[in-house]
Chains A and B, each alone.
Chain A
Amino acid sequence: MTRPDRAAIIGIGYSDISRNSGTGPGTLIARAARAAILDSGVAKEDIDGVVGVYGSDSPTVWPGYVVDSLGLPNVTWWDTAQPPSIVGLSSAAQAVLAGNCEYAVFYHGKYRWGSTSIASKGDPLRESPAHEMDPTFSNPLVSHAGSLNWAARVMRHHMDRHGSTREDFGKIAINNRTHALTNPRALFRTPIKMGDYLAAPMIDEPMSLLDMDAPVDGAMAVVVTSLERALDGPHTPVVIEAFGSGLPIGSEGNLWPEADGLAARRAVASLFGRTDYSPTDMDLAYPYDGFTILTMLWLEALFTEEGGGPELLRDAWSEDEQVLKLFGRMPMCTSGGNLSEGRATQGFGSVLEAVQQLRGTAGDRQIGGSLNTAVITNGMAATNRSTILSVS
């Protein structure tokens, strides 16, 4: 057989995203996968690969469960991946490129388990799946605080080292919220301004409610195939140009607040090193925004030096429009990101959004002009995968 040399996204889908879906995680994932397959125009008999995120971080359901849920009769390849979401997308794309399957559906779901928010702790129908061995000794601290987060300490570390301010991080939160106003997937669609940001309650000081993604119920999915097969589909194929990752020694966020920036720089170098592009060639930027500090570190890795993020943001800020335009032109997180869609996505909303923007089907939030490329960075030090998508 000849193996394909390029993989493309041909279908996208998502469930409702909400704080309280009234359904279990398996149903949300089935709905997202169903929507992606329908969008791709591929018959369910032709889906032969199923790949899902099924990791140690709040597990949901495994590929066999999805095969049963949708009655997929001809699946001969499956795989699972740790979060964040693009790790699973890369597994699906590589399965296509290796010839292990022709049409892979990849899903990512997230659920507001009792362990993920104080508000869901008492709900017996949200009792968390048993977790592995607490290898980082954080259970006694979580037990007391309920919402303890390493990212807050990474944020403090950046502020102390580089003089970043809450106003700098606020620009990220406001940009994303402004873009979310026209995104029907987004859970948070009330406009915010700097005063709102600065007044938000602290979750883990210096990290406030508006610096983090809220736990939600929801799922997203795509269908991936070879570019050659993709040309037969109903949509403009969105080509996956490359993947990249960085995994430094000392990646545990609880101990190494330096690690996220280092990993981001390595990931960006590995990603762009596998293409002929450089970051400033991109038309659209989707730095991961599970926490605003991670967006800051990804932006520094993509576009400036360590500690240069605050200045980059100040130069990019449009007070009139309440958005960031990097270098005066490049929009960022045009769907509002995790901060607006919630933690259901773990960055995958940015993949769906980039596909819609590059297809030219983003509706009210379609960015004008010719759009050919998008970079999506995804995750943190211990677990990250980033990608570049394109249309020609």
Chain B
Amino acid sequence: MAHTRRNYDTQPYWEGCDQRELRIARCADCHTWIHFPRGVCPNCWSDDVRHEAVAGDGQVVTFSRPRVPDGAPPMVTALVALDAADGVRVLGRLEGAEPDAIRVGMPVSLDWHEEDGQLVPQFVPSGGAPA
């Protein structure tokens, strides 16, 4: 099975996930958000990159509905632009929405989901978590 793989650059992100906190890398010098996490700021080339917890509200940029193996629950994958971190997009499952009602641009909020023993971010429609 394909588990998450951690390395020194991504470990702070995954440690956040373990605590149900979405931590996004950010340059301490010029405040540019950096996702996926990297150790050098692409804007000012600073090495001083730290992780900050951010709110997980955002909007759907695009989405798809992959086929899943027989017996597995259906899923929607959505790319979400975060309101709280300019330029940052997070890819995750979108749960609790009628597939035909999903639209590009719809507001969603962060939720958590466990896959292969790892907590990973997922999203739900804003204003209504799944039952």
Contact = CB atoms under 8 A, between A and B. Distances in A.
Interface residues of B, number: 34
B4 A137 contact: yes
Interface in A249-273: 249, 252, 254-257
A382 to B, nearest CB: 13
A139 B6 CA distance: 11
B10 A206 contact: no
A146 B68 contact: yes
Interface stretch (B49-57, B114-122, B123-131): B114-122
Contacts of B118: 140
A139 to B, nearest CB: 4
Given A135-B36, A156-B62, A157-B61, A144 B104 contact: no
B2 A153 contact: no
A152 interface: yes
Contacts of A145: 66-68, 72, 75, 77
A142 B68 CA distance: 10
Given A140-B2, A144-B115, 5 more contacts: A134-B2, A135-B10, A140-B4, A143-B116, A153-B77
Interface in A114-144: 115, 118, 133-144
Contact of B67 (A147, A160, A249): A147
A154 B66 contact: no
B36 to A, nearest CB: 6
A148 B66 contact: yes
A41 interface: no
A201 B66 CA distance: 11
Given A146-B69, A147-B67, A204-B64, A137 B91 contact: yes
Contacts of A142: 2
A203 interface: yes
Given A118-B69, A249-B42, A148 B77 contact: yes
A21 interface: no
B115 A140 contact: yes
A205 interface: yes
Nearest to A157: B62
Contacts of A139: 2-5
A202 interface: yes
A147 B2 CA distance: 12
B64 A149 contact: yes
A140 B3 CA distance: 6
B67 A201 contact: yes
A115 to B, nearest CB: 7
A149 B77 CA distance: 10
A323 interface: no
B1 interface: yes
Contacts, number: 112
B115 A153 contact: no
Size category of the binding interface on chain A: 35 or more
Among A115, A153, A249, A254, chain B packs the most CB atoms within 10 A around the CB of A153
A181 B36 CA distance: 44
A144 B72 contact: yes
Contacts of B67: 118, 145-147, 201-204
A115 B118 CA distance: 20
Interface in B7-45: 7, 10, 13, 35-36, 42
A140 B116 CA distance: 7
5 contacts: A140-B118, A140-B120, A144-B72, A152-B66, A156-B104
Contact of A254 (B5, B63, B79, B104): B79
Contacts of A256: 89
Contact of B64 (A118, A144, A153, A252): A153
A205 B68 CA distance: 11
A143 B115 contact: yes
A207 interface: yes
A275 B69 CA distance: 48
Interface string A204-223: 11110000000000000000
B91 A138 contact: yes
A117 to B, nearest CB: 11
A305 B100 CA distance: 30
Contacts of A157: 61-62, 104
Contacts of A134: 2, 4-5
Given A141-B91, A249-B42, A255-B89, A156 B75 contact: no
Given A153-B62, A157-B62, A255 B79 contact: yes
Interface in B88-105: 89, 91-93, 104
B1 A153 contact: no
Among A147, A148, A203, chain B packs the most CB atoms within 10 A around the CB of A148
Contact of A144 (B4, B10, B42, B68): B68
A136 to B, nearest CB: 6
